[in-house]
């Protein structure tokens, strides 16, 4: 299926490859608008049927890899890059959404003129931003500058001897001033946090004066028994202009308003408006709703079914237009960003592969949802802050959050949870029974028998039923749906919407989505491997570059990684330029942790620690026992030595007789250690009478010699 952002490669006569990106699709009129990602040209139209036919004939191909796809975390973007991106976005944001009007040359020309006049920029600048936005995937981050390809990224000019910046006036009186170095910046930060980011709401000038009093005073004078700092002259301290420049450069409006006024005021009056909760779902992928609930069933561990691990958290993602469940997550991660991340990653995952991981075989037609939506409606909390910024800027998704205590604004997903629970609850052991509250009643938690894997299987079966067979009795069909005899089943509504409505689904590389959503953490490179959460990992690249030899001989170091809490078998190292990643594998000797949820691994590790503590006292007692036994044997030997002290030889004779004594002792040991059968017969069945050999005779003589020595 062709979707927005799909890359199409065309064969050319010179055996080169021409790559075009789909920008807009209108199935009813059979029109698509595309742009050549390698040429400096405007979008153009093609017939949708021509593209599909060319793909069938092998003239065109769907490009699997997006050369402009980058794994970008909002935290890693420099302020300079953000400023350039936001400036470009401010200029074109009002016109890029006017699709397909913006793709028509005459209308585009008029829109570019209006925008260039409004923002006082040249028309070529607007054109440059538009082409960059379209070529690189229609996301806000597509407008980021390519500074990462240049040297000296993130490095500031060092403060030398010469004064930087505009020269001061009246240098004879006020001096030339000083450069702002790292120590002065540190004083700036402390002063702003101490005097400006407070409920006292001090002015910036007063903050500067208090900073000079605390950090830029040389001596102290006494007046009326009070110590008064003597501030340094202006020529020896940073000016107010330098302080204000630094303040504006690193200003954090959210932190400033939240601390000076209140976090509530910021949320009510100053936070950015990320979406409109009244937006209507015009087709599949227009709006997804996401929510979480705690399942009414207790589960057991995959390691040991005697360990009850509590109730799982169920995350669901559902398409508003068709009511198709597009993604799920089952785990122990409470309602949080991690749980929401898992559900969104599942929404873009190939569902055939996902179901296969749980032993369920399906066809692609049974669960076709593997795309990102245009917008997401969620609760306040999970999809707010920097996590939501990654979705907005890196993946081009609008975020709409409901007001507090208004779960009814997400009635579709809420009702889906209730329906699913009612469907599976009667058949599962360990279900929460609120009626069993009387004293003496059986504890329903003891009935738990399902683990996370088995419960996930049940939820997948329930989702497949909902998508393919469940009849939506309260769904209001449109007139066209009635004419086409579309049944109120989510999958049929989804397929009808794909064929008859303007597409809002987005094709994004699954790896980029997962890595954009995965939680990040810090791991340690050690001589035993990459250590993370007390687990050890390795990869081809780390072995090839001798990371672990270096760590063992030169010391360990920290690296930033991404990981999936649902399967700790792998972690991922993002490359410095964010263009690729390295997949690291858990070492083989930790096979007991393979394919396990992080929560279960953590539970097992904690239980093992607890068991070790419990066994420590028993182990110590056993050590004490063997110590006492050893001491007893040594004491007995010492007593025997004292008894024979009367026959003791001199030290020199003792040393000289070591070899002789060893030969005698060896012969005696051989006699005691030799195998001796109780009875031996010859071939005729008669008993064999042993005859003394020369060796036996030698042994007797040696015994007699030994006896004489000690007599």
Write out the DSSP string of 534-581.
Answer: TEEEE-HHHHHTTHHHHHHHH--EEEEEEE-TT-TTEEEEEPTTSS-E
Across the range 22-50, mean pLDDT stands at: 90
Angle at 459 between CA 454 and CA 461, to 5 degrees: 95
Counting the structural domains of the chain, the total is 4
Query: What is the model's pLDDT at position 109?
Result: 92
Are 288 and 413 found together in one domain?
Answer: yes
Query: What is the model's pLDDT at position 409?
Result: 43
Are 341 and 359 found together in one domain?
Answer: yes
Are 58 and 188 found together in one domain?
Answer: no
Query: What is the model's pLDDT at position 43?
Result: 92
Among residues 511, 542, 562, which one ends one of the domains? Answer: 511
Are 210 and 127 found together in one domain?
Answer: no
Among residues 149, 166, 192, which one ends one of the domains? Answer: 149
pLDDT in tens, 169-203: 766 666 777 778 788 888 888 989 988 988 888 89
Residue 258 placed within a domain:
yes
Identify the band that residue 363 occupies on the pLDDT scale cut at 50, 70 and 90: very high
Are 329 and 455 found together in one domain?
Answer: yes
Are 60 and 125 found together in one domain?
Answer: yes
Residue 124 has pLDDT above 90, yes or no: yes
Residue 122 has pLDDT above 90, yes or no: yes
Residue 650 placed within a domain:
no
Residue 655 placed within a domain:
no
Identify the band that residue 262 occupies on the pLDDT scale cut at 50, 70 and 90: confident
Identify the band that residue 283 occupies on the pLDDT scale cut at 50, 70 and 90: confident
Are 46 and 121 found together in one domain?
Answer: yes
pLDDT in tens, 606-645: 777 777 777 877 778 888 888 888 888 888 888 877 776 6
What integer best gives the mean pLDDT of the chain? 79
Are 258 and 125 found together in one domain?
Answer: no
Residue 231 placed within a domain:
yes
Are 486 and 356 found together in one domain?
Answer: yes
CATH code, domain with 286: 3.30.420.10
Q: Helix 105-119 to helix 79-96 angle, to the nearest 10 degrees?
A: 130
Residue 679 has pLDDT above 90, yes or no: no
Residue 610 placed within a domain:
no
Across the range 63-85, mean pLDDT stands at: 82
Higher pLDDT, 121 or 678: 121
Are 421 and 525 found together in one domain?
Answer: no
Alpha-carbon 30 to chain mean position: 41
pLDDT in tens, 328-339: 888 876 667 777
- Residue 49 CB partners (closer than 8 Å, separation 6+): 30
Query: What is the model's pLDDT at position 278?
Result: 34
Among residues 601, 624, 651, which one ends one of the domains? Answer: 601
Buried b (16+ CB within 10 A) or exposed e, 435-445: eeeeeeeeebe
Residue 600 has pLDDT above 60, yes or no: yes
Instruction: Let me know: does 380 contact 402? Beta carbons within 8 Å.
Output: yes
CA-wise closest residue to 566 among 528, 511, 632, 518:
518
Residue 462 placed within a domain:
yes
Query: What is the model's pLDDT at position 433?
Result: 72
Residue 155 placed within a domain:
no
Higher pLDDT, 615 or 486: 486
Residue 159 placed within a domain:
no
Query: What is the model's pLDDT at position 492?
Result: 92
- Predicted structure pTM score: 0.49
Query: What is the model's pLDDT at position 277?
Result: 35
Query: What is the model's pLDDT at position 274?
Result: 41
Q: What's the token pair of residue 229? A: 């700092």
User: Domain range holding 330?
Assistant: 280-433+443-511
Q: Average the pLDDT over each of 358-367, 377-386, 533-542 and give the range with the smallest value.
A: 377-386
Identify the band that residue 149 occupies on the pLDDT scale cut at 50, 70 and 90: low
Are 503 and 583 found together in one domain?
Answer: no
Are 288 and 401 found together in one domain?
Answer: yes
Residue 583 has pLDDT above 50, yes or no: yes
């Amino acid at each position: 299926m062709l979707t927005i952002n799909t890359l199409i490669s065309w064969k050319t006569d010179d055996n080169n490859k021409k790559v075009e990106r789909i920008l807009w699709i209108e199935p009813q009129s059979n029109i698509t608008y595309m742009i050549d990602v390698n040429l400096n040209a405007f979008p153009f139209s093609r017939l949708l049927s021509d593209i599909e036919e060319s793909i069938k004939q092998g003239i065109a191909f769907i490009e699997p890899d997006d050369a402009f796809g980058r794994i970008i975390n909002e935290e890693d973007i420099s302020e300079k890059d953000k400023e350039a991106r936001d400036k470009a976005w401010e200029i074109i944001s009002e016109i890029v959404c006017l699709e397909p009007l913006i793709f028509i040359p005459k209308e585009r020309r008029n829109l570019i003129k209006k925008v260039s006049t409004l923002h006082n920029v040249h028309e070529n600048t607007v054109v440059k931003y538009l082409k960059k936005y379209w070529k690189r995937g229609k996301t806000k981050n597509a407008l980021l500058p390519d500074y990462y390809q240049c040297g000296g990224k993130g490095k500031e000019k060092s403060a030398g001897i010469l004064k930087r910046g505009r020269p001061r006036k009246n240098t004879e009186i006020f001096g030339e001033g000083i450069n702002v170095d790292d120590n002065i910046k540190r004083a700036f930060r402390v002063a702003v946090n101490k005097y400006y980011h407070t409920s006292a709401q001090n002015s910036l000038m007063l903050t500067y004066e208090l900073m000079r009093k605390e950090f830029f005073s040389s001596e102290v004078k006494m007046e009326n028994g009070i110590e008064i700092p003597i501030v340094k002259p202006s020529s020896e301290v940073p000016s107010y202009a330098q302080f204000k420049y630094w303040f504006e450069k690193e200003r954090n409006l959210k932190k400033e308003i939240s601390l000076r006024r209140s976090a509530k005021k910021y949320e009510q009056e100053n936070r950015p408006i990320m979406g409109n909760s009244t937006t209507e779902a015009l087709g599949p992928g227009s709006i997804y709703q996401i929510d979480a609930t705690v399942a009414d069933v207790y589960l057991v561990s995959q390691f040991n079914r005697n360990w009850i691990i509590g109730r799982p958290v169920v995350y669901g993602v559902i398409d508003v237009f068709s009511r198709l469940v597009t993604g799920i997550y089952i785990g122990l991660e409470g309602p949080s960003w991690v749980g929401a991340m898992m559900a969104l990653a599942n929404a873009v995952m190939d569902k055939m592969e996902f179901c296969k991981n749980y032993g369920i075989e399906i066809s692609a037609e049974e669960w076709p949802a593997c795309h990102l939506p245009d917008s997401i409606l969620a609760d306040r909390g999970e999809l707010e802050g920097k996590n939501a910024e990654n979705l907005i800027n890196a993946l081009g998704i609008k975020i709409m959050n409901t007001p507090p205590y208004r779960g009814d604004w997400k009635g579709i997903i809420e009702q889906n949870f209730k329906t699913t629970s009612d469907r599976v609850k009667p058949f599962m052991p360990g279900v929460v029974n609120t009626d069993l509250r009387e004293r003496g009643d059986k504890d329903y938690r003891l009935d738990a028998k399902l683990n996370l894997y088995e419960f996930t299987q049940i939820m997948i079966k329930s989702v497949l039923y909902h998508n393919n067979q469940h009849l939506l009795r309260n769904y209001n069909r449109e007139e066209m749906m009635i004419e086409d005899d579309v049944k109120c089943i989510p999958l049929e509504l989804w397929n009808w919407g794909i064929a008859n409505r303007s597409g809002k689904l987005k094709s994004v590389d699954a790896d980029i989505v997962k890595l954009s959503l995965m939680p990040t953490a810090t791991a340690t490179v050690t001589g035993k491997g990459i250590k993370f959460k007390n687990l050890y990992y390795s990869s081809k690249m780390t072995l090839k570059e001798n990371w672990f030899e270096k760590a063992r001989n030169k010391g360990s170091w920290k690296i930033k990684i991404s990981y999936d809490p649902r399967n700790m078998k792998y972690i991922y190292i993002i490359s410095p330029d964010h263009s690729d990643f390295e997949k690291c594998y858990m070492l083989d000797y930790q096979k007991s942790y393979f394919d396990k949820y992080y929560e279960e691994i953590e539970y097992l590790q904690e239980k093992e620690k607890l068991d070790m503590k419990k066994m420590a006292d028993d182990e110590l007692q056993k050590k004490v026992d063997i110590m006492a036994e050893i001491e007893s044997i040594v004491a007995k030997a010492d007593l025997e030595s004292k008894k024979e002290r009367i026959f003791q030889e001199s030290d020199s004779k003792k040393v000289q007789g070591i070899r002789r004594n060893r030969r005698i002792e060896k012969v005696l040991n051989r006699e005691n250690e030799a195998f001796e059968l109780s009875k031996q017969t010859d071939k005729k069945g008669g008993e064999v009478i042993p005859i003394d050999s020369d060796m036996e005779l030698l042994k007797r003589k040696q015994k007699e010699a030994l006896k004489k020595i000690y007599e």
